[in-house]
Structure 1
Amino acid sequence: MSETGLVMGFLCFANGGCFVSTELYDVSEFQASGVERFDHSQLDEGDQSVMSDLGVPNRIKDTLVGKATVSGARKRIKFATMNLYPSSRSDNPGAAEACYRNNIIGVGWGGAGDGENHSELSASDYTRRVFEQYGDEDSTAENDFAHFALWLSPGDIVITKNLGPVAKYGRVKGPMKHRDQSDAEDELREHSIGFYREVEWVDVSPEDAPAKVLSTTCRGTVTLPGLDRASMEQITDQFDSPIGDIDYELEEEELSAAFSELAERPANNKDNANRLIDSLSASGSYNGLETVVCTYIQAKTGAVMHPSSRSYPGIEAIFRTTGDQGPETYGVQVKRGSFSDKDKLKRFADRHDRLFLFSSAGDEIDHEDITNINQRDLSEYIINSSYDLPPVEVDRILRAREYMVE
């Protein structure tokens, strides 16, 4: 393909304002609160000027908004579909493999930055150069470069299907760079990749992909997916797996010391207890908050946990134990917010031996057979029972320490 074309074109949808952050957070820390639209007015002032001066169309799409539970910072995630090389450029199929192999997404136009001092040039500078050197009356491809350079931010997610029917998601990890800055510069030049962004790739099986992703064709250089909130949350779930290596290794003595430090904080500060609970993951694919609450119940009652079933809609888990009067059955429901169908939960409690409830919002239900677990008790259990917790949650809790008030 030529230097003036896209190796991988895409458009991202939404970022700006108070949501912008240079710190890349774990997707498992993201708690969605809704969907908001984004347009050029929410870009940084300088980027707005570039878009306006160059006549880049104002493309508006829905984005997923929420917060990073560890830091409490507001976050926004943009979504885009893309082709790693346009279908008309079949002479360069290796560009897709180069992107996957080097964990990047890339575009062409490398001549706009070859041999320059890249520490002195911004994404806006490169965008103006691309339009000056390669643009014409129909600058459709260059408009895509502007979105690649100025709209995309760390934490955004792109979707592609270049290497077979199974989709791949790429989560953007950093700013745009020129190929001169890459350790794989020769390979990028071979495939006419001029500018790139580092990403984390995730392979997605058909059964785990939303219907809107399965039905999307990544044709040409840019496809604009119309994703609803459920689809966007299902996509983010693919990056939130507890399987794999934890980023730290602590000896038993160090782990004990770390949790002893935590013990001095949440016990006398309600905000710290909230922060500790919020640090636990809570997604569709894996819910650390539910896991920790269930571990707490087992520790307190000695009951054995069993998966819930269709016989108990809305109940996360069922516990079996033997009480003074024989076999007993407990249920548990865990919510980040308030309980939605309290009458149904009361009926469960009427028909079984006990229902345990936990709400991080502090919601409770008054019933003689319902035990409401409060945040203070759960946070104290977490601090005193580190070895009973899943390693991925221990890691998240320790990273939340810096946001707690001493």
Structure 2
Amino acid sequence: MTEEREIGLPARRAAIDIVSSALTRRAGVEEALSRPGFRNLEPRDRGFAMALAMATLRRLGPIELALDGRLAKPPPEAVRNILRIGVTQAFLMDTPAFAAVTTSVDLAASHSSTRAFKGLVNGVLRGLLREPPKLDDPESLCPPWLYARWSAAFGAEAASAMAALIAEEPATDLSLKDPAQAERLAGELEAEILPGPSLRTARKGDVAAWPAYDEGAWWVQDASAAIPARLLDVKPDESALDLCAAPGGKTLQLAAAGAGVVAVDRSAARLTRVAENMTRMGLTAESVTADAGDWADTRTFDAVLLDAPCSATGTYRRHPDVLWAARPSDIAALAGVQSRLLDSAAERVKPGGRLVYCVCSLEPEEGEAQIAAFLARRKDFTLAPAAPGEGGAPEASLRPDGTLRLLPHHRAGGQDGFYAARLKRES
């Protein structure tokens, strides 16, 4: 009997709860991970539940097509979720075919709302085992409306390359407190040194148990997410403001560079986590709980970083749920928030100072269009173009105007999607 079969139904129910929550609302995965059904599992079972849920979300598009081809009419959502994880176990994990079917039928039989459908679950999954579906077509991996947007914005070839990465579990990227320690830490962590530098490791498991964690030598941060703070190029005698600072990776970067940092975020709970990371790293920053657009403080700074709230479609490699939770209406609504925050950030830049605006979004309305509109209304700001390779950015990500459009396929092994622009306020 395999380990996955031994794990049993509670872990599979937790996986279904994660998938269901992810498809119902934003932040659904985080909510599901806080519920007793997941938290009370043994560590091995939690790991299996998370792996099963994420594998399902990474291949959700082709899984849906496979199920639609076998279903005469849509079943209740609870039944569809059982089928979703059944397909994932049968074709994407190490679960033997009989165990994938048996545990799925057992799940259906275990609750009154799905018991009548256990025959359907059995029949659909056995039918798919006889005629295995194709689960790796790039175009079906992405919601059609997003694929169409990416094709229009970046071309069909880029859209296909970006979508193909949805199915791949990413490695873990690390930022370093002291870049001079890159070679030593790369050896200890069995990591590749990326430009910047960042480290990329294939290690799995609890990061708190990895080498040099306790000494505060590094923190987890995607290679793309580390680039915007580097564009500010802060010096030890400068003041820096990090707006919308949580989860805090960029705050850590600015503080590690020696700047006097103020970190502003509207979530006190998230700022508490930022403070905990600062303590582990032996760094300091002033934390302020406030809306970055309404913060009453009149101080100005040499360097201001605005990582604005956005649709987060660029983070799909680590958070595939964002693709299915996002709606077209979200982009227009968030664009208004970004515009307001960008105007507020601009007022906090000293004459002659720098402002970096970034979003972890692949949508032009949240990136290129925001900066074009901002420059049209703020004649006291000009673009300060990035140089090729600056900040560790792939050269393919540098746009003609010197801003960065970091697409996921621009780096071997993938990276988060970002837009970043550096601006200078006239003296």
Structure showing the higher helix proportion among its residues: 2
State the TM-score, normalized to the length of structure 2: 0.27
Structure showing the higher strand proportion among its residues: 1
Structure ranking higher on relative contact order (CA contacts 8 Å, 6+ apart)? 1
**Which protein is bigger by CA-based radius of gyration?**
1
